Structures are given as structure tokens and as C-alpha cells.
Amino acid sequence: MPRHVLTAEFAHESNTFKKGFTVLDDFRSETYLQGEAAIAERGNANTELAGFLDAAREAGWRVSHVISAHAGPGARVARAAFDDIAGQICAAATASRHSLDGILLSLHGAMVTEFCEDGEGELLTRLRAIVGPDMPIAVTLDLHANCTPLMCDLADAIVSYKTYPHIDMRERGLQAGRILEARMSGRSRPRTLRAHRPMLDEINSGRSDEGPMLPLYAKARAAEREPGILAVSINAGFSDADIRDVGPTVTVTYDTLQPAAESRARAIAEDIADGIWAARFTSVNTYLGVEEAAAIASSFDASRGPLIIADYADNPGSGAYGDATNLLRAMLDAGLRNAAFGPMIDPEAAAFLHTHRVGDTVSLALGGKNDPAFGGGPLAVTGEIIHLSNGDMICDGPILGGLHHSYGTTAVLRVDGIDVLVVTANSQMLDQQQFKAFGIMPAEKSVVALKSMQHFRAAFEPIAGRVIVCDSGALSTPRYERRTYRNVPRPIFPLERNTELPTRP
């Protein structure tokens, strides 16, 4: 009889400094698919679910997929939303607990809810209460997880992405599935340990394309080839969550059936964590002010490709509002032409533009409506409507390729030579189709300003003449001192730059 495995995807990256809550409609507008509908949409794309299904085909499992639920990074998850999605997973586990052989979960690792700091730990706690301590459970996490001790205690195996931009989701899902299969067959008995350092996050947010993390990722991959070492995961942390268990961690899943595996796993985890700590002053990014970025753009030679300006601070992918105006204001003041800017997440403006027609010239207050103290207030502009859309697209880049995506009500407003993508739904710039689907051809522009920290590089670096990163002062600014932390343990780097490591037992 084939083994029976329960699978689910439930992910959210929670910015506790953002106003309000992430509600169920936010999941429904992004990804909220049950059972076969989720498999049809996500089962052959670059997703953890696809990796789980690859493992199932290898081993001949019977899979019961409960739900794939994902909302764009944002405020803490409302209790009602968490209880709805977690409740579906727990109800399926309850209904099948006598036939289940294992559970595979795709989580994020930085979910904070309305009622607790550790959403993933809360879900695992509820599941363990149903299936007991011996049910094999393997979990995948985003590279930007704040991985807690509770997660490590309750999940047998933890496998995190090793790429930023994230392009290895399916691969990690398969890896987690293979570890689960070995556990269910009795060939291994995994446990996971954790090493942590007192930092808000890794200084380069875990970049895997250059910088001090490269040799550490290489160490992690090499260690996974050692006997008894099943997974080595480097979690860069997520500094936009003001919680106790914040910051970079290294988790090692090892086989307790292998002699000396635990001591070797501890040595690996501490060695890599020491490497993260040693590199805490080594930043790969140079954060320009918006005026400096616009000045570079004004004299840029785009013959080899456009200048890509990434607004690090207003990245919707870390929970920023995506409506900061400081960079757009600087670009307009610099008189840039043949430029693109996006997204400007402003549902009110998008709805207003849809009361007009393509070709109309309109005036409106754009952006800056959520918190003008972070990134600038509303910008008075007049422009021509170039495109109106329902925001739907099929992506084709390395991260989202093959997946349906939607910005909701969407418009393109041309303001003094800058095509501004005005959207409704919360999403960072990950894929060229997020411009192309609305008539903006990034490769044909001289300047492309977009809101993303690092993920944009996968799709946009290949066409770029140059890439620069700016800090618009928005909610996810790298100037941590602008945010009021109340719950993180102190001292912590870089809030206290002279932080010392505690003495190890």
C-alpha cells in the first residue's frame, strides 16, 4: 500500500511595523487554492508543491494536498485568516490521522499573527496536538525565515531556500520530500538543531549572487554530502518583524541513527553562524539617496541596456506599502525621459484612472497615502493614460515563470516622459511581465525604477546596462534606527554596533 502524505502551502512574511492586518481576502487575492485546483495551478511550476509532487512520484506516495495559501508580505496575519487556513490543514490531518504516514509543509518562517509572534510554530503546535510526536513532519522555509526554536522542536526536518533571488523552490521541496521518505521508510530518523547570532538580519539579507554569503552557501551544500547530514539551511532573518526570535539562524537536520551526526551537525551550524557574524560589517549594497540616483540616471548611456534603479526601502516584498513617492519625485525633478516606474501601489488612484479612457489627460494625487513619514507624501501629477487593465498576467521569469499573477485594477500613466505603473494589489517587481503585460517594454527604456530589494535581479539584471540601489526612506529602509523596536532582545546588531556574542556553554 502506498504511503499517505498530507501536503499544504501556507506562507506569509509579516512586517510588524505596517499598519493594520493581513486578512483572508489578501490571501484570496494572491493565492488561495484547495486540493486539485492548487495542484493544477502550481504543481508543475517553480513551487515547493511541485517539488513535493516530484518526491511523491519518485516514491509512489498517495498525496492529499489541502491548500496553497499565500498573501503578499504585509501586516500581521489576522486571527480569522490564520484560523481559516490553519483550520483547514488541521481538519484534514484530523480526518486522515489514522492513515497518514507523513506531512510536508511549505511555510515561510517569518509569519507573525495578531495573537502570536510565531505563526509557523503555532501551526506545528496545533498539528502535533492532532497527530502526536512521532508523525514525520518535514518543512520548507523561505531563506528570510526567523526560524524559532519551537519550529526546530516540532518539525523533524527543515529545508530552506539557498538562493536569493529565490529560484530553487521546487528543488528544496524535492529535498524535503526525500528526507521525509527516508524517515517514513525507517532509513533515517531526522532531528533539527539551530544556531543563532544576535543580529536583526544578515547584513546583505542573504544575497547568494555575490558577497560574504557565497562561501557559506558553498559550505552548506558541501556539508549536505556528509554522512548523517540531511539538510543545512542558512536563514538570513527578517528584520521587519519586531519579535523575540528575530535574526539569522543556521539549521542542520541530521540523522540520529548515524553515530556522531549530532556533534558534527552542531559544529557545522556554529561554524556557518560564526561566518555570518564575522561578515556583519561587510555590505555589498551601496544605498544611494533618491536625488543621487536620479542624477546618475539623467546622464546614463543606455546603449547597453537600461539603468535599473531598485528602491530597496519601498519593497512590497518586505511589507513596505509600495506607495512611496520620493524616488518618483526625484526622477521628475531631474527631467528624465523614456523611463518607467513601478509599481505604485495606490488602489484609489488606479480606480480613479479607470473612470477615464486611454488617451485622456488627468490630474491626481499619486501615492504617499499610507504613511507619508516613510517615503514621502502624495505627489500631485498630470499625465496621459496609456493603458488600462484588470492587472492579469502570466509570468515567464525565473521566479514566477508559468504562474498566473494579478495586480488587480491597473493603469499606466505617462507623466513627463515617465510611464508610471499604478496598481491595486500588493506585489514587488519580480518578473518583466509585470511591466510588459501593460505595454511597458523594460529593455526599450533608458531608465527603469522598480520596487524590490533583490528578487528583481533574476529577471532584470540580464537586460540591465547597470543596476543601482536606492533608499527612498520608505518603511523597509536599511536605516533600522528609524523603526521603533520593542520586542527584539537587546543588545542586537546593528542597533548596538558594539554587540558582543554571549559566552557559549
Distance CA 182, CA 353 (A): 56
> pLDDT category, 503, cuts 50, 70, 90?
confident
Residues 295-321 have a mean pLDDT of 96
Confidence check: pLDDT of 430 > 70: yes
Look at residue 310 and give its three-state secondary structure: strand
Is 448 in contact with 340 (CB distance < 8 Å)? yes
207 vs 190: CA distance, rounded Å: 28
Dist CA 150 CA 243 (whole Å): 14
What does residue 139 show for φ and ψ, rounded to 5 degrees? -130, 140
Q: Which cell goes with 396? A: 515567464
Strands 404-406 and 392-394: antiparallel
* Dist. CA 180–CA 158, nearest whole Å: 10
Question: Does 143 score more than 80 pLDDT?
Answer: yes
The yes-or-no verdict on residue 504 having pLDDT over 70 is: no
pLDDT beyond 70 at 398: yes
Query: For 233-257, how does the pLDDT look when each residue is reduced to its tens digit (9 = 90+)?
Result: 999 999 999 999 999 999 999 999 9
**What is the rounded distance in angstroms from the CA atom of residue 397 to the CA atom of residue 411?**
22
Average pLDDT, the chain: 96
Give the mean model confidence (pLDDT) for residues 79-100: 97
- Averaged pLDDT, 14-23: 96
- Quick one: cell of 346? 495606490
pLDDT at 502: 81
> Does residue 505 surpass a pLDDT of 90?
no
Cell 536583526, residue located: 200
> How far is residue 276 CA from its own chain's centroid?
20
Kindly report, residue by residue over 347-394, the tens digit of the pLDDT: 999 999 999 999 999 999 999 999 999 999 999 999 999 999 999 999
In this structure, are strands 410-415 and 379-389 parallel, antiparallel, or unpaired?
A: antiparallel
> Mind listing the pLDDT tens digit for each residue in 270-297?
999 999 999 999 999 899 999 999 999 9
Task: Give the DSSP letter string of 473-502.
Answer: S-TT-S-GGGS--SSS-SS-BTTSTT--PP
pLDDT value at 405 more than 80: yes
Confidence category of residue 217, pLDDT binned at 50, 70, 90:
very high
Q: For a pLDDT cut of 90, what percent of the chain falls above it? A: 96
